[in-house]
Amino acid sequence: MMRFVKTKKGVSLIEVLIAVSLFAIVATISSNILVDTVKLQKKSSLSSTIYEDLRIIVQQITNEVQNGAIDYEEYYNIYVLQNGKSAQDTYYGINYGAYGSRFYDPGIRIDGATPKNPNDLGVECSYPETVPVGEDCQVIYTLSTDLNTGRSPYYGNTDDTNAFCDKSIGKCNEPGVIDQLFLIDKTGKKKTILGKKKTSNNDYAVGIMRMDGLDIDQNGVIDTFTCNENFSCIGDGTGEDSKVEAAIKLPFFSTTSAVKEYGIRLPHASDLEDVFDVNSSQFVPITPLRTTVKDLKFIIKPLDDPYKAYAEEKMQSHPTVTVIITLGLSDLVKDLYPGDFPDVKIQTTIASGVLNRIDSYPPISEVKDKANKDTWLKDVFPLSLTSPY
């Protein structure tokens, strides 16, 4: 009788090794795909964060520009009158009206001498020759009345000067391309300053400062500015009253008591490079701290206020601001999400919202101080800026 022996099939060692190897390969590939997917999702999420923060920044700046006007007075104050000073000694909000005064012909002097701007701005009193304290001039020498020419300088080449530079003091590279934005509201009473504010050793945000105007002599035109009450600045009891008093050249600011009396507090440019401190910083960050502002530039056009420079053909366009921002991840976020995250750069142009002239130079009928025969503006301008040049 024959027996049939059934052969039992099995898996050889080689087949097992092949199967294990294939499984390992598939698992490795799957793991890599999963890791890459997670990394991509994180990178996409962080990229979205950068773009979202960029959108917030642009919208904030747009709102400020559309609700204000380019503050050419402040640009002239910082980039011309205080050109060359250290950041610690460069103050915002002072010398208001100096830029506007450059467009005026000072008229004819009563003594027949050649008139100069700013020395002879204002009107002269012909009678009495010396006005007693507390009394008014009875007869004004009308030929000494200032004339608004709509050009700066009022006599000479208008290409030599603008709100950002004056060739007589140099440093006129790329005029109108700056790292701070100065705005003023339609009433001429409120300033807004935007700049790149340091928030940590390597990170920056867009910082904001607001200032309020003071018409101390009650002539209808703002004399100077002080920090808004919601911001920390120097002066008015901070132990630096004398510095503030020395920076303001108005004739009625002769003592530190005037600074305290009127509550004058000023910000200075060096604060932007000091790491933000909630108790002492002047500029306040207004952008998310998860990203850092790598670069911030503003291009202002035209270079002069067209409502003041109405006789200068090159300046006849409505003021605009081109904003150029480069944004990246802050150091804190980089530490949490290691990897390569490229910076994002954007450029946009915004038209200012104010469509009228903002008066800054005092009324042209003000009588010059007979005691010194000069206007207070003479103490503001360097000798090289006396026009005609």
* Alpha carbon separation from 177 to 163, 283, 303, 371 (Å, rounded): 12, 21, 10, 42
Residue 385 confidence (pLDDT): 79
What values do phi and psi take at 106, rounded to 5?
Answer: -75, 0
Kindly tell me if the per-residue pLDDT of 42 is higher than 80.
no
Residues in the chain: 389
Q: What is the pLDDT of residue 11?
A: 57
Task: List, for residues 347-367, the tens digit of each pLDDT value.
Answer: 999 999 988 889 888 766 677
Give the CB-side neighbour count of residue 25, counting CA atoms within 13 A: 6
As given in the structure block, the two tokens for residue 340 are 């390569």
- Supply the pLDDT for residue 20: 66
Residue 174 pLDDT level (bands cut at 50, 70, 90): low
β 124-127/147-148 pair status:
unpaired
Cα distances (Å, whole numbers) of residue 264 to 62, 128, 187, 214, 252: 29, 36, 20, 9, 13
Per-residue pLDDT band at 188 (split at 50, 70, 90): very high
Query: 384 is written with which tokens?
Result: 């090289």
Residue-wise pLDDT tens digits, 200-249 = 999 999 999 999 999 888 888 898 999 999 998 887 666 677 788 888 88
Res 26: pLDDT: 67
Q: Which two tokens stand for residue 344?
A: 């994002």
Question: Has residue 86 got a pLDDT over 70?
Answer: yes
φ, ψ for residue 105, nearest 5 deg: -80, 125
CB-based burial of residue 277 (10 Å sphere; 0-12 exposed, 13-18 middle, 19+ buried)? Answer: exposed
The whole-number pLDDT of residue 170 equals 64
How far is C-alpha 191 from the chain's CA centre?
Answer: 10
For 92-116, write each residue's pLDDT tens digit: 999 999 999 999 999 999 888 999 8
**Does 300 score more than 70 pLDDT?**
yes
Question: In the predicted model, is pLDDT for residue 280 greater than 90?
Answer: no
Q: For 70-76, what is the mean pLDDT?
A: 96
pLDDT, mean of residues 293-321: 95
- Kindly tell me if the per-residue pLDDT of 340 is higher than 60: yes
Alpha helices in the chain (DSSP H): 13-66, 72-76, 98-101, 241-247, 256-262, 331-336
Greater confidence (175 vs 260) lies with: 260
How many whole angstroms separate alpha carbon 23 and alpha carbon 25? 5
pTM for the model: 0.85
Label residue 309 by pLDDT band (50, 70, 90). very high
pLDDT at position 37 over 90: no
Average pLDDT value for the chain: 83
Residue 294 confidence (pLDDT): 94
Between 254 and 292, the more confident residue is 292
